[in-house]
Structure 1
């Protein structure tokens, strides 16, 4: 079992860190004292205290790009065409997983619900299939990973959450709650090797290690 990790002073790469969810992840990591690099094809909207790097997963990803990092978060908007989605969400994610396995970096992938039910959304079926292939490639890569599958994303404040497994549900999820789950997973032994769906719920703030411990490993 992987030990819990202190995020303070660790160095983390947030691929897609200029996006609405990725920037929340980066900001939360900075607040915990981590060193953060925002990565993307055109990194912008970089929080104060963070660095930036150009990374295009469609062009692949190398071990050298991950050297020195304790962890990497992949939170990218998929291309709208099937070929582009395959290049980024499958082959690109696979390359990140392989690099992480070589360097020992931890990986948290932000995926989506309906990953096993693409026929229910034929308008984005190609994107969903590419995401599913990326998930499987990450599991097979040998890195320490967590896969977070949010529901339909909103801009609501973080709050109570409901974690599920099996990809049978539906619902909304605040980006802030996704970011909180991602950052918690980076530092939690209980989240290693697990895939889960996350939805907004009624109640108090989550105790993340307790939530993660209740999940089954992949």
Structure 2
């Protein structure tokens, strides 16, 4: 069984993915042309003995994509042979007040934008992560799922937020409605100030906010409450068929 934190990530990203696949308690999301880790990974349970890891590796590579897997916790599950590529933290956003005494031109303004602004939104997100070349592909992929999510009677609707400083975009965020609260696992900001402003704005859309933050040492903003580490890694050659 997948941990609650991985189930939360899947609940956010699955509506945005192209392919979803289950095998032995693992869940795979696949989205060619997009470089978002969670949209191209197999999420693993804590006990991988029931997962055919060789099949996972072969399936990823058969789609022309690296065999990326994700697991919860700071320790690699027993029997899993991987090369770690990224580590994030998932938890509840505690936040802090936006600074009101920032010099003129340094204050960050956040606004909700419509799907017609998706290209600019994706551009700001990818620029914040240093991957501007992926913006067009991300915008194309998200266009359809976001339109479906906005349809009558749809659950888990999304909202696009963009942050500006001195009129220039400095980040963007995708918020998903979750009952009285929400989640924001896909976001990026040029700096901590822009990130805090984005996350605070997202928190204002609901009673609670679950977010993904960069790993320790990569974020100097407020901490998360109840944070859990999530790691991404590449399966190494010679992975055993059953872990």
* TM-score (normalizing by structure 2): 0.30
Indicate the structure (1 or 2) with the bigger Cα radius of gyration: 2
Q: TM-score, length-normalised on structure 1?
A: 0.33
More helix by share: 1
More contact order relative to length (CA 8 Å, sep ≥ 6): 2
